[in-house]
Structure 1
Protein backbone atom coordinates (compact mmCIF):
# COMPACT_ATOMS: atom_id res chain seq x y z
CA UNK A 1 0.00 0.00 0.00
CA UNK A 2 2.85 2.41 0.81
CA UNK A 3 5.45 1.06 -1.62
CA UNK A 4 6.81 3.61 -4.07
CA UNK A 5 4.53 6.39 -2.86
CA UNK A 6 5.13 9.90 -1.59
CA UNK A 7 3.03 10.19 1.56
CA UNK A 8 2.03 13.31 3.49
CA UNK A 9 1.83 12.23 7.12
CA UNK A 10 -0.98 13.32 9.47
CA UNK A 11 -0.51 16.66 11.20
CA UNK A 12 -2.77 18.02 13.95
CA UNK A 13 -4.81 21.04 12.82
CA UNK A 14 -3.03 21.03 9.45
CA UNK A 15 -4.16 17.94 7.51
CA UNK A 16 -7.40 19.53 6.30
CA UNK A 17 -8.74 19.28 2.77
CA UNK A 18 -6.95 22.44 1.59
CA UNK A 19 -3.55 21.19 2.78
CA UNK A 20 -4.17 17.72 1.40
CA UNK A 21 -5.05 19.14 -2.03
CA UNK A 22 -1.84 21.20 -2.08
CA UNK A 23 0.11 18.08 -1.09
CA UNK A 24 -1.49 16.22 -4.02
CA UNK A 25 -0.43 19.04 -6.36
CA UNK A 26 3.16 18.71 -5.13
CA UNK A 27 3.29 14.99 -5.77
CA UNK A 28 1.83 13.23 -2.74
CA UNK A 29 0.24 9.93 -3.71
CA UNK A 30 -1.37 9.50 -0.28
CA UNK A 31 -2.39 12.11 2.27
CA UNK A 32 -3.68 11.64 5.80
CA UNK A 33 -6.41 13.45 7.66
CA UNK A 34 -5.50 14.71 11.08
CA UNK A 35 -6.34 12.37 13.95
CA UNK A 36 -10.09 12.48 14.56
CA UNK A 37 -11.31 11.18 17.91
CA UNK A 38 -13.75 8.28 17.72
CA UNK A 39 -16.11 9.38 20.51
CA UNK A 40 -16.92 12.57 18.62
CA UNK A 41 -16.67 11.35 15.03
CA UNK A 42 -18.95 8.37 15.66
CA UNK A 43 -21.87 10.79 16.04
CA UNK A 44 -21.22 12.64 12.79
CA UNK A 45 -23.63 12.88 9.92
CA UNK A 46 -22.38 12.46 6.36
CA UNK A 47 -23.58 15.36 4.22
CA UNK A 48 -23.09 15.85 0.48
CA UNK A 49 -22.25 19.54 0.09
CA UNK A 50 -23.46 20.41 -3.41
CA UNK A 51 -22.09 23.96 -3.27
CA UNK A 52 -18.51 22.80 -2.72
CA UNK A 53 -18.86 19.37 -4.35
CA UNK A 54 -17.55 17.92 -1.10
CA UNK A 55 -18.52 15.28 1.38
CA UNK A 56 -18.74 16.74 4.86
CA UNK A 57 -18.90 14.98 8.19
CA UNK A 58 -20.73 17.16 10.69
CA UNK A 59 -20.68 16.44 14.43
CA UNK A 60 -23.66 16.55 16.80
CA UNK A 61 -23.03 20.27 17.48
CA UNK A 62 -23.07 21.15 13.79
CA UNK A 63 -19.28 21.53 13.50
CA UNK A 64 -17.38 20.28 10.46
CA UNK A 65 -15.02 17.48 11.51
CA UNK A 66 -13.83 16.11 8.17
CA UNK A 67 -14.24 17.18 4.56
CA UNK A 68 -13.17 15.37 1.44
CA UNK A 69 -13.99 15.42 -2.26
CA UNK A 70 -14.73 12.50 -4.59
CA UNK A 71 -11.50 13.12 -6.56
CA UNK A 72 -9.49 12.47 -3.39
CA UNK A 73 -11.07 9.09 -2.56
CA UNK A 74 -8.23 6.85 -3.71
CA UNK A 75 -5.58 9.09 -2.12
CA UNK A 76 -6.86 10.05 1.33
CA UNK A 77 -6.30 8.07 4.52
CA UNK A 78 -8.71 8.73 7.39
CA UNK A 79 -6.86 8.62 10.72
CA UNK A 80 -8.89 7.74 13.80
CA UNK A 81 -7.89 8.12 17.43
CA UNK A 82 -9.47 5.26 19.34
CA UNK A 83 -9.20 2.87 22.24
CA UNK A 84 -12.31 0.90 21.30
CA UNK A 85 -12.77 -1.60 18.49
CA UNK A 86 -16.52 -0.92 18.40
CA UNK A 87 -16.13 2.87 18.13
CA UNK A 88 -13.30 2.55 15.61
CA UNK A 89 -15.56 0.39 13.45
CA UNK A 90 -18.48 2.80 13.81
CA UNK A 91 -16.27 5.65 12.56
CA UNK A 92 -14.73 3.56 9.80
CA UNK A 93 -18.09 2.40 8.47
CA UNK A 94 -19.27 6.00 8.34
CA UNK A 95 -16.34 7.16 6.17
CA UNK A 96 -15.11 4.00 4.40
CA UNK A 97 -16.83 4.70 1.08
CA UNK A 98 -15.13 8.10 0.83
CA UNK A 99 -11.49 7.22 1.62
CA UNK A 100 -8.77 4.82 0.50
CA UNK A 101 -7.85 3.64 3.99
CA UNK A 102 -8.60 3.78 7.69
CA UNK A 103 -5.52 4.39 9.85
CA UNK A 104 -5.46 3.83 13.61
CA UNK A 105 -3.20 6.29 15.39
CA UNK A 106 -1.08 4.33 17.85
CA UNK A 107 1.78 6.78 18.05
CA UNK A 108 0.54 10.19 19.17
CA UNK A 109 2.18 11.12 22.50
CA UNK A 110 0.05 14.26 23.02
CA UNK A 111 -2.13 14.46 26.14
CA UNK A 112 -5.38 14.93 24.20
CA UNK A 113 -4.81 11.52 22.66
CA UNK A 114 -3.22 9.53 25.47
CA UNK A 115 -5.65 10.79 28.15
CA UNK A 116 -8.42 8.89 26.38
CA UNK A 117 -6.34 5.72 26.10
CA UNK A 118 -5.62 6.45 22.45
CA UNK A 119 -2.44 7.13 20.48
CA UNK A 120 0.77 6.02 22.18
CA UNK A 121 -1.20 4.52 25.09
CA UNK A 122 -2.04 1.62 22.77
CA UNK A 123 1.62 0.66 22.35
CA UNK A 124 1.67 -1.34 25.58
CA UNK A 125 -1.74 -2.96 25.01
CA UNK A 126 -1.12 -5.56 22.29
CA UNK A 127 -4.43 -7.38 22.80
CA UNK A 128 -6.39 -4.15 22.37
CA UNK A 129 -4.31 -3.36 19.27
CA UNK A 130 -5.17 -6.81 17.92
CA UNK A 131 -8.88 -6.35 18.74
CA UNK A 132 -9.13 -2.95 17.04
CA UNK A 133 -7.25 -3.94 13.88
CA UNK A 134 -8.88 -7.34 13.40
CA UNK A 135 -12.34 -5.84 14.00
CA UNK A 136 -11.70 -3.25 11.30
CA UNK A 137 -10.20 -5.72 8.83
CA UNK A 138 -12.92 -8.31 9.37
CA UNK A 139 -15.81 -5.86 8.93
CA UNK A 140 -14.69 -3.36 6.30
CA UNK A 141 -14.83 -3.96 2.54
CA UNK A 142 -11.63 -5.55 1.21
CA UNK A 143 -10.99 -2.50 -0.99
CA UNK A 144 -10.76 -0.32 2.14
CA UNK A 145 -7.21 -0.58 3.43
CA UNK A 146 -6.57 -0.76 7.17
CA UNK A 147 -3.29 0.69 8.45
CA UNK A 148 -1.82 2.03 11.66
CA UNK A 149 1.01 4.25 12.86
CA UNK A 150 3.21 3.34 15.83
CA UNK A 151 6.31 4.72 17.53
CA UNK A 152 9.46 2.94 18.58
CA UNK A 153 9.07 1.01 21.82
CA UNK A 154 11.72 0.82 24.57
CA UNK A 155 13.64 -1.94 22.81
CA UNK A 156 14.01 -3.15 19.25
CA UNK A 157 12.63 -6.53 20.37
CA UNK A 158 9.43 -4.97 21.77
CA UNK A 159 8.96 -2.93 18.59
CA UNK A 160 9.43 -6.07 16.47
CA UNK A 161 6.98 -8.05 18.63
CA UNK A 162 4.30 -5.38 18.26
CA UNK A 163 4.98 -5.19 14.52
CA UNK A 164 4.39 -8.95 14.22
CA UNK A 165 1.09 -8.66 16.09
CA UNK A 166 0.01 -5.82 13.79
CA UNK A 167 1.04 -7.76 10.69
CA UNK A 168 -0.98 -10.79 11.87
CA UNK A 169 -4.15 -8.66 11.90
CA UNK A 170 -4.25 -8.44 8.11
CA UNK A 171 -3.43 -4.75 7.79
CA UNK A 172 -2.30 -3.41 4.41
CA UNK A 173 0.65 -1.57 5.96
CA UNK A 174 1.86 0.19 9.07
CA UNK A 175 4.11 3.17 9.59
CA UNK A 176 6.76 3.55 12.27
CA UNK A 177 7.46 7.02 13.62
CA UNK A 178 11.20 6.92 14.28
CA UNK A 179 11.04 8.39 17.77
CA UNK A 180 10.29 7.03 21.21
CA UNK A 181 7.13 8.22 22.98
CA UNK A 182 8.87 10.85 25.17
CA UNK A 183 10.74 12.35 22.21
CA UNK A 184 9.48 15.48 20.47
CA UNK A 185 9.91 16.63 16.85
CA UNK A 186 12.93 18.81 17.67
CA UNK A 187 14.85 15.63 18.56
CA UNK A 188 16.30 13.65 15.64
CA UNK A 189 14.50 10.51 14.52
CA UNK A 190 16.21 7.12 14.86
CA UNK A 191 16.21 6.21 11.17
CA UNK A 192 18.62 3.33 11.80
CA UNK A 193 15.97 1.54 13.91
CA UNK A 194 13.26 1.52 11.27
Structure 2
Protein backbone atom coordinates (compact mmCIF):
# COMPACT_ATOMS: atom_id res chain seq x y z
CA UNK A 1 0.00 0.00 0.00
CA UNK A 2 1.56 3.28 -1.14
CA UNK A 3 1.71 6.35 1.09
CA UNK A 4 2.34 10.01 0.31
CA UNK A 5 3.78 12.36 2.94
CA UNK A 6 3.87 15.92 1.68
CA UNK A 7 5.53 15.66 -1.74
CA UNK A 8 7.29 12.38 -0.88
CA UNK A 9 5.87 9.19 -2.39
CA UNK A 10 6.63 6.00 -0.48
CA UNK A 11 6.51 2.62 -2.25
CA UNK A 12 4.74 1.17 0.77
CA UNK A 13 3.43 2.35 4.12
CA UNK A 14 5.86 0.46 6.38
CA UNK A 15 8.13 2.79 8.33
CA UNK A 16 11.20 2.02 10.44
CA UNK A 17 10.82 3.85 13.76
CA UNK A 18 13.68 6.08 14.86
CA UNK A 19 15.58 4.27 17.64
CA UNK A 20 18.70 5.66 19.30
CA UNK A 21 21.57 3.21 19.03
CA UNK A 22 19.67 1.02 16.57
CA UNK A 23 18.58 2.78 13.37
CA UNK A 24 22.05 3.78 12.27
CA UNK A 25 23.17 3.66 8.63
CA UNK A 26 24.15 -0.06 8.54
CA UNK A 27 20.86 -1.23 10.04
CA UNK A 28 18.82 1.10 7.83
CA UNK A 29 20.46 -0.35 4.72
CA UNK A 30 19.47 -3.85 5.82
CA UNK A 31 15.87 -2.76 6.45
CA UNK A 32 15.72 -1.01 3.07
CA UNK A 33 16.88 -4.21 1.38
CA UNK A 34 14.01 -6.04 3.09
CA UNK A 35 11.44 -3.61 1.68
CA UNK A 36 10.98 -0.87 4.27
CA UNK A 37 9.09 2.08 2.74
CA UNK A 38 10.59 4.90 4.84
CA UNK A 39 13.69 4.76 7.03
CA UNK A 40 13.83 6.99 10.11
CA UNK A 41 17.27 7.87 11.41
CA UNK A 42 18.40 8.03 15.03
CA UNK A 43 17.18 11.23 16.68
CA UNK A 44 19.60 14.17 16.51
CA UNK A 45 19.86 17.00 19.01
CA UNK A 46 19.15 20.40 17.45
CA UNK A 47 21.45 21.96 20.07
CA UNK A 48 24.25 19.56 19.13
CA UNK A 49 23.99 20.73 15.51
CA UNK A 50 24.00 24.33 16.73
CA UNK A 51 27.26 23.72 18.61
CA UNK A 52 28.81 21.77 15.69
CA UNK A 53 29.17 18.51 17.61
CA UNK A 54 31.35 16.11 15.58
CA UNK A 55 29.51 12.97 16.70
CA UNK A 56 26.26 14.49 15.49
CA UNK A 57 27.64 14.94 11.99
CA UNK A 58 28.31 11.19 11.83
CA UNK A 59 24.74 10.49 13.00
CA UNK A 60 23.43 12.41 9.99
CA UNK A 61 25.28 10.37 7.35
CA UNK A 62 22.89 9.21 4.62
CA UNK A 63 23.53 6.77 1.77
CA UNK A 64 21.83 7.23 -1.60
CA UNK A 65 20.67 3.59 -1.57
CA UNK A 66 18.47 4.10 1.50
CA UNK A 67 16.23 6.90 0.20
CA UNK A 68 13.62 7.95 1.17
CA UNK A 69 14.85 8.88 4.63
CA UNK A 70 13.39 10.83 7.54
CA UNK A 71 15.80 12.78 9.75
CA UNK A 72 14.53 13.38 13.27
CA UNK A 73 15.43 16.37 15.43
CA UNK A 74 14.75 16.76 19.13
CA UNK A 75 14.86 19.85 21.31
CA UNK A 76 12.62 22.35 23.06
CA UNK A 77 13.78 25.72 21.69
CA UNK A 78 11.60 26.61 18.72
CA UNK A 79 14.17 28.98 17.26
CA UNK A 80 17.05 26.51 17.48
CA UNK A 81 15.01 23.64 16.04
CA UNK A 82 13.72 25.67 13.10
CA UNK A 83 17.08 27.32 12.42
CA UNK A 84 18.95 24.01 12.55
CA UNK A 85 16.35 22.45 10.26
CA UNK A 86 17.15 25.21 7.78
CA UNK A 87 20.90 24.76 8.27
CA UNK A 88 20.82 21.05 7.41
CA UNK A 89 18.11 21.17 4.75
CA UNK A 90 20.63 20.61 1.94
CA UNK A 91 21.45 17.16 3.35
CA UNK A 92 19.82 14.37 1.34
CA UNK A 93 17.00 13.47 3.73
CA UNK A 94 13.45 13.61 2.34
CA UNK A 95 11.38 14.36 5.46
CA UNK A 96 12.17 16.20 8.69
CA UNK A 97 10.59 14.71 11.80
CA UNK A 98 10.31 16.39 15.19
CA UNK A 99 10.55 14.13 18.24
CA UNK A 100 7.82 14.65 20.83
CA UNK A 101 7.77 11.07 22.07
CA UNK A 102 11.15 10.12 23.56
CA UNK A 103 10.61 8.98 27.18
CA UNK A 104 14.26 8.92 28.33
CA UNK A 105 14.77 10.93 31.56
CA UNK A 106 17.76 12.98 30.36
CA UNK A 107 15.68 14.13 27.37
CA UNK A 108 12.41 14.65 29.26
CA UNK A 109 14.14 16.47 32.13
CA UNK A 110 15.33 19.06 29.60
CA UNK A 111 11.73 19.65 28.53
CA UNK A 112 12.36 17.77 25.27
CA UNK A 113 10.90 14.62 23.72
CA UNK A 114 7.63 13.52 25.31
CA UNK A 115 7.80 16.41 27.82
CA UNK A 116 6.55 18.60 24.97
CA UNK A 117 3.20 16.80 25.19
CA UNK A 118 2.61 18.82 28.36
CA UNK A 119 3.05 22.13 26.54
CA UNK A 120 0.65 22.51 23.58
CA UNK A 121 1.64 26.16 23.07
CA UNK A 122 5.29 25.22 22.66
CA UNK A 123 4.31 22.39 20.28
CA UNK A 124 2.52 24.97 18.15
CA UNK A 125 5.55 27.30 18.15
CA UNK A 126 8.03 24.58 17.24
CA UNK A 127 5.99 23.09 14.40
CA UNK A 128 4.89 26.45 12.97
CA UNK A 129 8.43 27.84 12.84
CA UNK A 130 9.95 24.66 11.44
CA UNK A 131 7.33 24.28 8.69
CA UNK A 132 7.99 27.89 7.66
CA UNK A 133 11.78 27.46 7.79
CA UNK A 134 12.17 24.64 5.26
CA UNK A 135 10.68 23.39 2.00
CA UNK A 136 10.79 19.69 2.91
CA UNK A 137 7.80 18.04 4.59
CA UNK A 138 7.75 18.25 8.39
CA UNK A 139 6.25 15.43 10.46
CA UNK A 140 5.93 14.91 14.21
CA UNK A 141 6.12 11.79 16.39
CA UNK A 142 4.04 11.91 19.55
CA UNK A 143 2.75 9.59 22.28
CA UNK A 144 -0.69 8.91 23.70
CA UNK A 145 0.05 11.54 26.32
CA UNK A 146 2.52 12.22 29.12
CA UNK A 147 0.64 10.05 31.61
CA UNK A 148 -2.81 8.57 32.10
CA UNK A 149 -4.06 11.85 33.58
CA UNK A 150 -3.11 13.79 30.45
CA UNK A 151 -4.03 11.71 27.41
CA UNK A 152 -3.96 14.50 24.83
CA UNK A 153 -2.72 12.94 21.58
CA UNK A 154 -5.86 14.09 19.74
CA UNK A 155 -5.44 17.71 20.88
CA UNK A 156 -1.72 17.73 20.03
CA UNK A 157 -2.32 16.09 16.63
CA UNK A 158 -4.88 18.77 15.74
CA UNK A 159 -2.35 21.48 16.65
CA UNK A 160 0.31 19.75 14.55
CA UNK A 161 -2.03 19.58 11.56
CA UNK A 162 -3.04 23.21 12.00
CA UNK A 163 0.61 24.28 11.90
CA UNK A 164 1.11 22.73 8.46
CA UNK A 165 2.83 19.44 9.28
CA UNK A 166 2.57 16.74 6.62
CA UNK A 167 1.88 13.75 8.91
CA UNK A 168 1.84 12.63 12.54
CA UNK A 169 3.03 9.34 14.05
CA UNK A 170 1.35 8.17 17.26
CA UNK A 171 2.87 5.71 19.71
CA UNK A 172 0.01 4.21 21.69
CA UNK A 173 1.73 4.50 25.07
CA UNK A 174 2.14 7.35 27.54
CA UNK A 175 5.57 8.58 28.54
CA UNK A 176 4.95 7.09 31.98
CA UNK A 177 4.59 3.64 30.39
CA UNK A 178 7.89 3.86 28.49
CA UNK A 179 7.64 0.61 26.48
CA UNK A 180 5.83 -1.47 29.09
CA UNK A 181 2.31 -2.84 28.98
CA UNK A 182 0.20 -2.94 25.87
CA UNK A 183 0.04 -0.13 23.33
CA UNK A 184 -3.37 1.55 23.12
CA UNK A 185 -4.33 1.39 19.46
CA UNK A 186 -7.65 3.09 20.14
CA UNK A 187 -5.86 6.42 20.64
CA UNK A 188 -4.38 5.99 17.15
CA UNK A 189 -7.92 5.49 15.80
CA UNK A 190 -9.12 8.61 17.59
CA UNK A 191 -6.28 10.68 16.15
CA UNK A 192 -6.99 9.32 12.67
CA UNK A 193 -10.65 10.35 13.00
CA UNK A 194 -9.67 13.84 14.20
CA UNK A 195 -7.20 14.93 11.51
CA UNK A 196 -6.95 14.75 7.73
CA UNK A 197 -3.16 14.48 7.38
CA UNK A 198 -1.68 10.94 7.26
CA UNK A 199 -1.54 9.20 10.63
CA UNK A 200 1.12 6.57 11.29
CA UNK A 201 0.42 4.00 14.00
CA UNK A 202 3.22 2.80 16.27
CA UNK A 203 3.38 0.19 19.02
CA UNK A 204 3.43 -3.62 19.36
CA UNK A 205 3.96 -4.56 15.70
CA UNK A 206 5.80 -7.87 15.73
CA UNK A 207 4.18 -9.82 12.90
CA UNK A 208 2.31 -9.39 9.61
CA UNK A 209 -0.96 -10.08 11.42
CA UNK A 210 -0.22 -7.25 13.88
CA UNK A 211 0.28 -4.80 11.01
CA UNK A 212 -2.91 -5.90 9.28
CA UNK A 213 -4.89 -5.68 12.52
CA UNK A 214 -3.55 -2.22 13.38
CA UNK A 215 -4.62 -0.85 10.01
CA UNK A 216 -8.07 -2.42 10.29
CA UNK A 217 -8.68 -1.34 13.88
CA UNK A 218 -7.31 2.21 13.62
CA UNK A 219 -7.64 3.17 9.95
CA UNK A 220 -4.05 4.45 10.12
CA UNK A 221 -2.31 5.33 6.87
CA UNK A 222 1.07 3.88 7.79
CA UNK A 223 2.57 1.42 10.24
CA UNK A 224 5.74 2.30 12.15
CA UNK A 225 7.79 -0.60 13.48
CA UNK A 226 10.33 -0.21 16.27
CA UNK A 227 11.46 -2.86 18.72
CA UNK A 228 9.82 -5.65 16.70
CA UNK A 229 12.41 -5.25 13.95
CA UNK A 230 15.52 -5.35 16.15
CA UNK A 231 17.37 -8.45 15.03
CA UNK A 232 14.58 -9.04 12.52
CA UNK A 233 14.86 -6.81 9.43
CA UNK A 234 13.03 -9.61 7.56
CA UNK A 235 9.81 -8.36 9.20
CA UNK A 236 9.33 -5.70 6.51
CA UNK A 237 9.42 -8.30 3.73
CA UNK A 238 7.13 -10.62 5.68
CA UNK A 239 4.53 -7.87 6.22
CA UNK A 240 4.66 -6.57 2.64
CA UNK A 241 4.29 -10.07 1.21
CA UNK A 242 1.40 -10.90 3.53
CA UNK A 243 -0.48 -7.65 2.83
CA UNK A 244 0.05 -8.01 -0.93
CA UNK A 245 -0.60 -11.73 -1.39
CA UNK A 246 -1.78 -13.25 1.89
CA UNK A 247 1.31 -15.47 1.93
CA UNK A 248 3.04 -16.07 5.27
CA UNK A 249 6.81 -16.15 4.75
CA UNK A 250 8.41 -18.51 7.29
CA UNK A 251 10.90 -17.16 9.80
CA UNK A 252 14.48 -17.04 8.49
CA UNK A 253 16.59 -20.18 8.58
CA UNK A 254 19.67 -20.39 10.75
CA UNK A 255 21.78 -19.92 7.62
CA UNK A 256 19.87 -16.74 6.75
CA UNK A 257 20.37 -15.45 10.29
CA UNK A 258 24.10 -16.16 10.06
CA UNK A 259 24.36 -14.42 6.69
CA UNK A 260 22.50 -11.35 7.96
CA UNK A 261 24.71 -11.05 11.03
CA UNK A 262 27.86 -11.25 8.88
CA UNK A 263 26.48 -8.70 6.42
CA UNK A 264 25.50 -6.40 9.29
CA UNK A 265 28.97 -6.75 10.79
CA UNK A 266 30.66 -5.86 7.50
CA UNK A 267 28.50 -2.75 7.15
CA UNK A 268 29.44 -1.77 10.71
CA UNK A 269 33.08 -2.27 9.82
CA UNK A 270 32.74 -0.07 6.73
CA UNK A 271 30.88 2.81 8.35
CA UNK A 272 31.97 2.67 12.00
CA UNK A 273 35.41 1.08 12.00
CA UNK A 274 36.34 -2.14 13.77
CA UNK A 275 36.58 -0.89 17.36
CA UNK A 276 33.19 0.83 17.52
CA UNK A 277 31.46 -1.38 14.97
CA UNK A 278 32.18 -4.70 16.68
CA UNK A 279 31.15 -3.41 20.10
CA UNK A 280 27.85 -2.25 18.64
CA UNK A 281 27.37 -5.64 16.97
CA UNK A 282 27.23 -7.37 20.36
CA UNK A 283 23.69 -6.15 21.09
CA UNK A 284 22.57 -6.85 17.53
CA UNK A 285 23.79 -10.47 17.70
CA UNK A 286 21.83 -10.86 20.95
CA UNK A 287 18.69 -9.63 19.17
CA UNK A 288 19.26 -11.77 16.06
CA UNK A 289 19.61 -14.94 18.14
CA UNK A 290 17.04 -14.27 20.88
CA UNK A 291 14.64 -17.14 21.40
CA UNK A 292 16.95 -19.87 20.14
CA UNK A 293 17.96 -22.64 22.59
CA UNK A 294 21.30 -21.84 24.25
CA UNK A 295 21.24 -18.23 22.97
CA UNK A 296 22.26 -17.00 26.45
CA UNK A 297 25.56 -18.85 26.08
CA UNK A 298 26.10 -17.27 22.67
CA UNK A 299 25.47 -13.79 24.12
CA UNK A 300 28.20 -14.40 26.69
CA UNK A 301 30.59 -15.37 23.91
CA UNK A 302 29.69 -12.45 21.66
CA UNK A 303 30.43 -9.96 24.43
CA UNK A 304 34.12 -10.73 24.02
CA UNK A 305 34.40 -10.12 20.27
CA UNK A 306 36.82 -7.37 19.28
CA UNK A 307 37.33 -7.87 15.54
CA UNK A 308 35.37 -8.80 12.43
CA UNK A 309 37.39 -12.03 12.34
CA UNK A 310 36.16 -12.81 15.86
CA UNK A 311 32.57 -12.24 14.78
CA UNK A 312 32.89 -14.36 11.63
CA UNK A 313 34.50 -17.24 13.53
CA UNK A 314 31.76 -17.17 16.16
CA UNK A 315 28.85 -16.87 13.72
CA UNK A 316 30.13 -19.28 11.06
CA UNK A 317 30.56 -21.92 13.75
CA UNK A 318 26.94 -21.70 14.76
CA UNK A 319 24.78 -24.77 14.36
CA UNK A 320 21.31 -25.56 15.51
CA UNK A 321 22.87 -27.31 18.50
CA UNK A 322 24.94 -24.25 19.46
CA UNK A 323 21.83 -22.12 19.39
Q: Which residue of 2 aligns with 1:90?
A: 83
Q: Which residue of 2 aligns with 1:169?
A: 163
Q: Normalising by the residue count of structure 2, what TM-score does the alignment of the two structures yield? A: 0.51
Q: Which residue of 2 aligns with 1:138?
A: 132
1:100 is displaced (CA, Å) by 0.7
How far apart are the structure 2 equivalents of 1:91 and 1:62?
A: 12
Between Structure 1 and Structure 2, the one with more strand by share is 1
2:142 is aligned with 1:150: yes
Judge conservation of contact 1:101–1:147 (CA < 8 Å) in 2: yes
2:70 is aligned with 1:77: yes
Relative distance call for 1:28 and 1:43 in structure 2 (3 A) is same
- Consecutive unaligned residues in structure 2, runs of 5 or more: 189-323
Between Structure 1 and Structure 2, the one with more helix by share is 2
How far apart are the structure 2 equivalents of 1:29 and 1:5?
A: 6
Aligned length: 177
1:62 is displaced (CA, Å) by 8.8
Deviations 1:18-67 (CA, angstroms, capped at 9, x unpaired): 111111111111011111111112233xxxxxxxxxxxxxx257973321
Relative distance call for 1:62 and 1:135 in structure 2 (3 A) is closer
Q: Which is further off, 144-153 or 179-188?
A: 179-188
Q: Which residue of 2 aligns with 1:29?
A: 37
Q: Which of 85, 93, 98 is matched with 1:99 structurally? A: 93
Relative distance call for 1:165 and 1:35 in structure 2 (3 A) is same
Q: Normalising by the residue count of structure 1, what TM-score does the alignment of the two structures yield? A: 0.83
Deviations 1:118-143 (CA, angstroms, capped at 9, x unpaired): 101100111111111111111201xx
2:47 is aligned with 1:39: yes
How far apart are the structure 2 equivalents of 1:110 and 1:126?
A: 20
| Runs of 4 or more consecutive aligned structure 1 residues displaced over 4 Å after TM superposition | 60-63
Instruction: Give the superposed CA RMSD.
Output: 2.1
Name which structure has the greater RCO, CA cutoff 8 Å, separation 6+: 1
Query: Larger Rg: 1 or 2?
Result: 2
Judge conservation of contact 1:156–1:193 (CA < 8 Å) in 2: no
Deviations 1:128-178 (CA, angstroms, capped at 9, x unpaired): 11111111111201xx11001110124697322111111101100010001
1:9 is displaced (CA, Å) by 0.4
How far apart are the structure 2 equivalents of 1:5 and 1:112?
A: 32
How far apart are the structure 2 equivalents of 1:13 and 1:163?
A: 27
